[in-house]
Amino acid sequence: MLSALQGEKVTIYFLDGSCLSDGVLEKADEKFIRYKTEYQIHYVPVSSVRSVALDTKERQRPRMGFGQ
């Protein structure tokens, strides 16, 4: 299932509540996921992953201030 997301920009959520974002899923096999961000390459064990979310559209940030 994860092999279908190879080359896509995804967010990985872990069992402990933390996450990795702004990176690309490079490779996935039965035991590990290779995830590359701008500065690092992560090798993540599949057993620690809760879910993987495909980033389809960037969220718009709410405006600050009193503009009209």
The residue ranges of every structural domain in the chain are 2-54
pLDDT classification of 26: cutoffs 50, 70, 90: very high
Average pLDDT, the chain: 89
Tokens of 56: 């389809």
- Identify the architecture of domain 2-54 in CATH: Roll (2.30)
pLDDT classification of 67: cutoffs 50, 70, 90: low
pTM of the model: 0.78
Q: Mapped to the 3 state alphabet, what secondary structure does the chain carry? A: CHHHHCCCEEEEEECCCCEEEEEEEEEECCCEEEEECCCCEEEEEHHHEEEEEECCCCCCCCCCCCCC
**pLDDT score recorded for residue 24:** 95
